[in-house]
Amino acid sequence: MTPLTVHLRPVRLERGWTQQELARRSGVDQSIISRIENGLTRGVGLGIVERLADALNLHPRSLLASSEQ
């Protein structure tokens, strides 16, 4: 599981947003968000990460940071 897969859904739910709402705010297709959250994609481009982070008002690094220390 990628760090993006681990972090995206909890952050989205913390804001009370559906995948559709995040898609609307970020311009990233809802099906891509679903695939990321369900661990069905590994190669997510930096542009998509930046758009998701911007919509969530986060630095992209916070979505990509490993949970392991």
CATH number at residue 10: 1.10.260.40
Predicted pLDDT at 22: 98
Distance (Å, whole) CA 47 – CA 15: 22
pLDDT given for residue 42 in this prediction: 75
Q: What is the DSSP letter of 1?
A: -
Q: What is the DSSP secondary-structure string of 19-69?
A: HHHHHHHH---HHHHHHHHTT--S---HHHHHHHHHHTT--HHHHH--S--
pTM across the whole model: 0.91
Per the structure, how many domains does the chain have?
1
Question: What does the alpha-carbon distance between residue 43 and residue 13 come to, in Å, rounded to a whole number?
Answer: 23
Query: pLDDT tens digits for the chain (69 residues)?
Result: 889 999 999 999 999 999 999 999 999 999 999 999 999 987 899 999 999 999 999 999 999 987 654
- Residue numbers of the domain that contains 41: 3-60
Residue at 19 is within a domain? yes
pLDDT number for residue 43: 86
Q: Which residue type, as a one-letter code, is found at position 52?
A: L
